[in-house]
Structure 1
Amino acid sequence: MKDSKGIIIGSAVVGGLSLLYIYRRYFAGKWEVVAEVDKLFIHPIKSCRGIAMDSFTAEPRGIYVTGTELGDRSFMMTHEDGRFATIRHYPKMVLITPTIISDDELRLTAPDMDPIVIKIPKHGSARPVNYTVWGYPCPGIDCGDEVANWLQKYTKGKNTRLVYHNQQLPTRKTTKFMDFGHLGLYDKGPLESMFQDYSAFNVLSQASIDVANTKLDDEHKVNVRFFRPNVLLKGCSAFAEDNWKRVRIGTAEFVFAKHTTRCRVTTVNPDTGVMDMDRSTLISLSSFRLCKPEEKPIYGNSPKISVDYIVVRPGKISVGDKVYVYNPRT
């Protein structure tokens, strides 16, 4: 009797494993290599110069320098009324270069300015104040008068200040696109981020930049710094990233959120801080990168290039990592 029961159980296990194998072999999707990580960037201060990285850690609220609390867009310049300061107001912001000294200190440099070192208010004893990014409040800790005076002198902004979003503060919850899941956007809940425009992770391929440059004259050619992604890819076709719904890079995994629309930021040369008043880049992109008619409530009349993703499994990403896309069987 015991032998018969063992045989039955064993047969059931074998049968179950066989069914699982058949399902995975013939019905389940699979991960396929589609590209490789060429470069990685963290932009500690929103709209200021990015830092090239060999690796970083992707977490739901943002991208972090591994082993630190310093994240992508965790600092932000603000106006007196709490709105974030943009390159449109201060084009020379793109020349402000942050350098990580330690987990506690950040050095800022800019042309014709003495460097300044700021103490990062990681545990902010000061009362956090709500600032706004595209109308959504996000708390931050003011970094003090010394760096505020430095920024005001450089940008000629009357009341510009620097604020920091540390890990003790709640994230900014964005619900702006929640009603557009039927168009393929992320609609599983509010997005949580720091001072990023939308999501905490942005991807662009070099091939997409190369195609954009075929539409521009030599004076207005662009590079990756015009678009400010976190990850630059190589080895895929132009705009292939538009169609990836589920992505794995290193030990992190992501799902598609939305395409990234472009504004006057792309008309400011990141090496000179000079704005192209003719808006050549925007006009060029608009000639072939506008959205479908049904997507206008989302993207309006702005051209789109690069893609926002949502981190669904935290992990580490390094230059040279293969990029995998999950292809479900249909």
Structure 2
Amino acid sequence: MEQSPKIASLFIYPIKSCRGISVPQAPVTPTGFRWDRHWLVVNYKGRAYTQRIVPQLALIKPEMPQEAFSEDWEPTNKSFMVIRAPGMNELKIPLTTPDSVAEGVSMWEWSGSALDEGEEAAKWFSDYIGKPSRLVRFKKDSEHRPVDPQYAAGYSTTFMDLFPFLFLSQGSLNELNMLLPEPVPVNRFRPNIFLDGCEPFGEDLWDEIKINDLVFKGVRLCSRCKVPTVDQETAVMGSEPTETLLKFRSDKVLMPDKKPRGKVFFGKEMVWDWKEGSSDGKGKLIKVGDPVLVAKKMTSRNEAAI
């Protein structure tokens, strides 16, 4: 009899490509967890920085008030995100909405305006990275960043790479670590929802799951970039785990009937189908320990979108 998965950990990454926060509960919204990838570090042209080109972003640690992950919580003028990094004084960012706007912000296919966190933040990030930089916040009241309609028409997100939620299982990580020269922790893969009680790579086949009354729909397998090769404790980039993943998690191996494009896959990208279950479209909490009901599964990985 197949095991019933449950949530082992929940992770929120307030600033894109910076360190994540492990939380006991997380408010779900249509664009992802509340506060997840709401901030972005950009260069002097307004283009996004990520660990692909600035691996030392991995060493930046944001800290949020514990109550920020409660349902319906709203910040006051005493609510801050505190940011720390090696060799730097701590930086406090008010969680209330800033007044300044940065035009011409861009990340991958999206460009638009964002909220600017001001000169103190700009100097802090410029000094740390060694290049002119600014910290901006997604302007959720007026900006809209749709995901690729080929995969999930009608959904949108903030500063995530592609889709609102990334699921990964302990079983998959264990399987990979048995093959690696040195095991890697889950933070290499930056999931939002980390599951236990799931067979290795069982999440590949999930078409629809339920957590409490929330329905999540599988979008596609997560194609991995260079970020998993960055050691999140040292910011040093290597060749693993990608080198090992290529041997058994490439499109060539997993989907022999499809044209290979040299991709490797680890984790499952999903959206919250807020039109089902909780019909008001407002976020609800999910918690560590919550059971996961697999409602619909694919029969093979050849059916999975990549």
Superposition TM-score tier, normalisation by shorter sequence: 0.7 to 0.9
Q: Determine the structure 1 residue equivalent to 2:245.
A: 285
Say if 1:78 and 1:160, in contact at 8 Å, map to a contact too.
yes
**Which stretches in structure 2 are left out of the alignment for 5+ residues?**
69-74, 275-282, 300-306
Q: Determine the structure 2 residue equivalent to 1:275.
A: 237
- Following the alignment from structure 2 to structure 1, what is the Cα–Cα distance between the partners of residues 47 and 200? 35
Question: Alignment RMSD, CA only?
Answer: 2.1
Of 205, 210, 228, 2:169 maps to: 205
**How has the CA–CA distance of structure 1 residues 293 and 83 changed in structure 2, closer, same or farther, with 3 Å as cutoff?**
farther
- Following the alignment from structure 1 to structure 2, what is the Cα–Cα distance between the partners of residues 108 and 326? 40
Give 1:259-274 correspondences, 5 Å limit. 259-274=221-236
Q: Determine the structure 1 residue equivalent to 2:302.
A: none
Residue-by-residue CA offset, 1:236-270 (whole Å, 9 max, x unaligned) = 11100010101111332110111111111111111
> Would you say 1:120 and 2:80 are equivalent positions?
no
> Would you say 1:80 and 2:53 are equivalent positions?
no
AA partner of residue 161 (structure 1) = R
AA partner of residue 100 (structure 1) = M
AA partner of residue 45 (structure 1) = I
* Secondary structure of the structure 1 residue equivalent to 2:174: helix
Say if 1:39 and 1:232, in contact at 8 Å, map to a contact too.
yes
* Secondary structure of the structure 2 residue equivalent to 1:237: coil
Q: Determine the structure 1 residue equivalent to 2:264.
A: 303
Identity %: 31
Say if 1:44 and 1:72, in contact at 8 Å, map to a contact too.
yes
> Would you say 1:326 and 2:295 are equivalent positions?
yes
Of 269, 273, 288, 1:312 maps to: 273
Say if 1:138 and 1:195, in contact at 8 Å, map to a contact too.
no
AA partner of residue 83 (structure 2) = L
- Following the alignment from structure 1 to structure 2, what is the Cα–Cα distance between the partners of residues 281 and 247? 28
Residue-by-residue CA offset, 1:183-233 (whole Å, 9 max, x unaligned) = xxx34x243000001111110001111111122112xx2111000000110
AA partner of residue 113 (structure 2) = P
AA partner of residue 169 (structure 1) = S
- Following the alignment from structure 1 to structure 2, what is the Cα–Cα distance between the partners of residues 54 and 40? 7
AA partner of residue 112 (structure 1) = G
* Secondary structure of the structure 2 residue equivalent to 1:284: helix
- Following the alignment from structure 1 to structure 2, what is the Cα–Cα distance between the partners of residues 86 and 229? 16
Q: Shift of residue 284 of structure 1?
A: 0.8
Q: Shift of residue 167 of structure 1?
A: 3.2
Say if 2:101 and 2:113, in contact at 8 Å, map to a contact too.
no
Residue-by-residue CA offset, 1:38-75 (whole Å, 9 max, x unaligned) = 000000000000000000111111201xxxxxx10000
TM (norm. structure 1) is 0.78
TM (norm. structure 2) is 0.84
- Following the alignment from structure 2 to structure 1, what is the Cα–Cα distance between the partners of residues 177 and 41? 31
Q: Shift of residue 169 of structure 1?
A: 2.9
Q: Shift of residue 168 of structure 1?
A: 1.3
**Which stretches in structure 1 are left out of the alignment for 5+ residues?**
1-31, 65-70, 179-185
Q: Determine the structure 2 residue equivalent to 1:44.
A: 14
Structure with larger Rg:
1
* Secondary structure of the structure 2 residue equivalent to 1:280: coil
Say if 1:252 and 1:316, in contact at 8 Å, map to a contact too.
no
Residue-by-residue CA offset, 1:101-147 (whole Å, 9 max, x unaligned) = 4634211001121111112352x432352422222225311111111
Of 194, 213, 219, 1:251 maps to: 213
> Would you say 1:171 and 2:144 are equivalent positions?
yes
Give 1:102-251 correspondences, 5 Å limit. 103=75, 104-120=79-95, 122=97, 124-156=98-130, 158-175=131-148, 178=150, 186-187=151-152, 189-218=153-182, 221-251=183-213
**How has the CA–CA distance of structure 1 residues 294 and 159 changed in structure 2, closer, same or farther, with 3 Å as cutoff?**
farther
Say if 1:252 and 1:311, in contact at 8 Å, map to a contact too.
yes
Q: Determine the structure 2 residue equivalent to 1:23.
A: none
Runs of 4+ in 1 over 4 A off after TM superposition: 293-297
- Following the alignment from structure 1 to structure 2, what is the Cα–Cα distance between the partners of residues 296 and 78? 35
Residue-by-residue CA offset, 1:267-319 (whole Å, 9 max, x unaligned) = 1111112111xx1211111111112255558xx32211011101113532100
